[in-house]
Amino acid sequence: MSHAMLPNVPTSPTSPLVQIVPKAPARLQSSGKIDLLSPVVVVGLVRFADFAIAVLSGFALAILYVGAEVVTATLLYGTVIVIAALVALLTFDLLGLYSMRALAAFPINLPRLMLGWSASLAAAGVLIFFLKAGPELSRVWLAIWLVAGGAAFALERGVLSLVLARLRASGRLVRRAVIYGTGALTDDLLHTLENEQGSEIRVVGVFDDRSAARGVPSTSAASRLGTLDELLETARAARVDLVIVSIPFAGERRLHDVASRLSVLPADIRLPAGAMQLRLAPRLYSHVGSVAMLDLYDRPIADWGYVVKWLFDKSIGLAAVMTLAPVMLLVAAAIKLDSRGPVFFRQRRYGFNNELIEVFKFRSMHADMTDHDAGRLVTKGDPRVTRVGRFIRKTSLDELPQLFNVLKGDLSLVGPRPHAVSAKAQNRLYNEVVSRYYARHKVKPGITGWAQIRGWRGETDTEEKIEQRVEHDLYYIDNWSVFFDLYILAMTPIALFKSENAY
């Protein structure tokens, strides 16, 4: 995720990792400003770069030394190069060279890097021996490749360590964490994280609803910043990536209640393994630094999933804008001819992480009757809607300008529909009707979604309609895939013909 740097504020003298995070300013914030960087993505890119270095250096040196005609005349050189590159990736992995800590510590890990590369070319030599291809392959080329490839890997890792240091300093590769719960368990956790060199975890606050006076005095209790409500507020304002629920497993009811409330956040929710006496199989644990954790909730559409969805939105969104430009020009002209006022209408809606965004639409109401907060739902025969407005609302043509929101990064093509800030069902705000309403904001909202193609499009005048929408939105979040997005996009035009609830 993208991480704007935390303000430079004094840290607690008892815990240097704990930083006080001020409340976010009460202004519009642009959602979707999420970087493609994450430890998983960075490691994946490094693997790709390693493979490219091995293959390109091997082919370049072979062409320069033995000639392009020889290299292209047989598959032997290509086979040896590709197999050696793949063995190099495997060897680097076995030597632990693909952890973020190893990538950042370049000088220390240089001997292991050279050992891995040498072992890979030794494996290539064994392959040549068993293929009885010694006379057909140049041993001088292999020696030059060993030296030049090693130098290229050393240069790559050196530059990478400098880049990672700058990214960490800017906060873009730091995972912000908050801890709920105080006591000995939290004290041990903070101590472990503080003493880990090169850790990407930064604890920005410790929270608990119980005051320090109720328990044994501890470092974490002295650093307590607030209650669970304040944790939720801080987690959204500071774009927290990880919430650690440091509560003994014996308090099952309290743990359940806290985890349920935290589940609406777009963050990973973890429980330290030390919170329970039962020891599980190692494969069931994840790790925060060196601390074993149990996964309660995962942040949806993260790491490579986010990269894929970002590329999906940008590429298809741009193609859609170019394809539908004539239609949008015709709609704009019709609006201008039908009524006085601007062509476009902007409305504040909830976006990713409950942040406010401005959504673009074609104006479908009379200019002096527009409702920017959607305090009053549009009903059948609503006098505020213009003649052209009725048509473009029924056919969803009024939503086409939201393609610009997709290119801007506020919306996705597919996701939960963004709701206006004052939208209500039977005179109750949506979050008052559905307890897990805000969980739908764990991902970017979309122009179309699972609820819309399943018949829950249009007016939400009853509690059942908003409950069904939220249920479908949460199903989409839990089951997202590129193919699911493609299916929803393909079914959207068909769903537009079922417009009995669209006014």
* 78-137 pLDDT, tens digit each: 888 999 999 999 999 999 999 888 898 888 999 999 999 999 998 888 877 776 665 677
Rounded to 5 degrees, what are φ and ψ at 293?
A: -135, 155
Residues 332 and 469 in one domain: yes
Residues forming beta bridges with residue 268, ordered by sequence position: 242
**411, 404 contact by CB (below 8 A):** no
436: Cβ contacts below 8 Å, ≥ 6 apart: 263, 264, 470, 474
Q: How confident is the model over 36-51, as a mean pLDDT? A: 90
Q: Which helix (H) or strand (E) holds 127?
A: helix 106-130
In a domain, 247, yes or no: yes
Residues 362 and 281 in one domain: no
> Last residue of some domain: 268, 297, 326?
297
Q: Quote the tokens at residue 431.
A: 């979050």
284: Cβ contacts below 8 Å, ≥ 6 apart: 294
Q: Quote the tokens at residue 126.
A: 């064994």
In a domain, 222, yes or no: yes
Q: How many angstroms from the chain centroid is the CA of residue 322?
A: 27
**451, 469 contact by CB (below 8 A):** yes
In a domain, 355, yes or no: yes
DSSP letter at 202 equals E
Residues 90 and 56 in one domain: yes
Tell me the residue type at 177.
Answer: A
333: Cβ contacts below 8 Å, ≥ 6 apart: none
> Last residue of some domain: 281, 297, 313?
297
Q: How many Å apart are CA 29 and CA 350, to the nearest integer?
A: 10
Other beta carbons less than 10 A from residue 297's beta carbon: 19
In terms of Cβ atoms closer than 10 Å to its own Cβ (0-12, 13-18, 19+), residue 381 is exposed
Residues 367 and 485 in one domain: yes
In a domain, 450, yes or no: yes
Q: What is the mean pLDDT of the chain?
A: 82
Residues 318 and 231 in one domain: no
Residues 137 and 113 in one domain: yes
- What percentage of the chain has pLDDT greater than the value 70? 83
Query: What is the 3-class SS of 325-368, one letter each residue?
Result: HHHHHHHHHHHHHHCCCCCEEEEEEECHHHCEEEEEEECCECHH
Residues 182 and 165 in one domain: no
Residues 317 and 402 in one domain: yes
Other beta carbons less than 10 A from residue 430's beta carbon: 22
pLDDT tens digits, residue range 361-377?
A: 999 888 777 766 665 66
Q: How many Å apart are CA 147 and CA 425, to the nearest integer?
A: 70
The more confident residue out of 53 and 427 is 53
Closest CA to 121 of 155, 81, 74: 81
Closest CA to 48 of 87, 81, 105, 89: 89
DSSP letter at 283 equals G
**226, 207 contact by CB (below 8 A):** yes
**pLDDT reported for residue 146:** 94
Q: How many angstroms from the chain centroid is the CA of residue 97?
A: 24
Measured between alpha carbons, how far apart are the two ends of the chain, in Å? 38
**pLDDT reported for residue 131:** 67
Q: How many Å apart are CA 228 and CA 475, to the nearest integer?
A: 26
Give 278's pLDDT tier (boundaries 50, 70, 90).
low
In a domain, 311, yes or no: yes
In terms of Cβ atoms closer than 10 Å to its own Cβ (0-12, 13-18, 19+), residue 16 is exposed
**pLDDT reported for residue 423:** 73
Give residue 248's domain range: 175-297
In the chain, the largest separation of any two C-alpha atoms, in whole Å, equals 88
The more confident residue out of 301 and 23 is 301
Rounded to 5 degrees, what are φ and ψ at 224?
A: -60, 130
Residues 105 and 165 in one domain: yes
In a domain, 274, yes or no: yes
Residues 444 and 371 in one domain: yes
**pLDDT reported for residue 58:** 93
pLDDT tens digits, residue range 327-365?
A: 999 999 999 998 888 999 888 888 998 888 999 999 988
In a domain, 147, yes or no: yes
> Last residue of some domain: 297, 318, 333?
297
CATH number for the domain spanning 240: value is 3.40.50.720
Residues 341 and 255 in one domain: no
Taking 90 as the threshold, does the pLDDT of residue 269 lie above it? yes
Q: For the chain, give the number of residues.
A: 503
Q: How many angstroms from the chain centroid is the CA of residue 483?
A: 18
Other beta carbons less than 10 A from residue 27's beta carbon: 6
Residues 347 and 487 in one domain: yes
> Number of structural domains, the chain?
3
**pLDDT reported for residue 36:** 58
Token pair 């996701």 in the structure block, residue: 415
In a domain, 503, yes or no: no
pTM exceeding 0.75: yes
Least-confidence region, from 156-160, 315-319, 379-383? 379-383
**pLDDT reported for residue 310:** 95
Q: How many Å apart are CA 37 and CA 34, to the nearest integer?
A: 8
Give the number of C-alpha atoms closer than 13 A to the C-alpha of residue 304, restricted to the C-beta side: 6
**352, 441 contact by CB (below 8 A):** yes
CA angle 81, 86, 87 (to 5 degrees): 95
Token pair 């730091």 in the structure block, residue: 174
CA angle 486, 48, 74 (to 5 degrees): 105
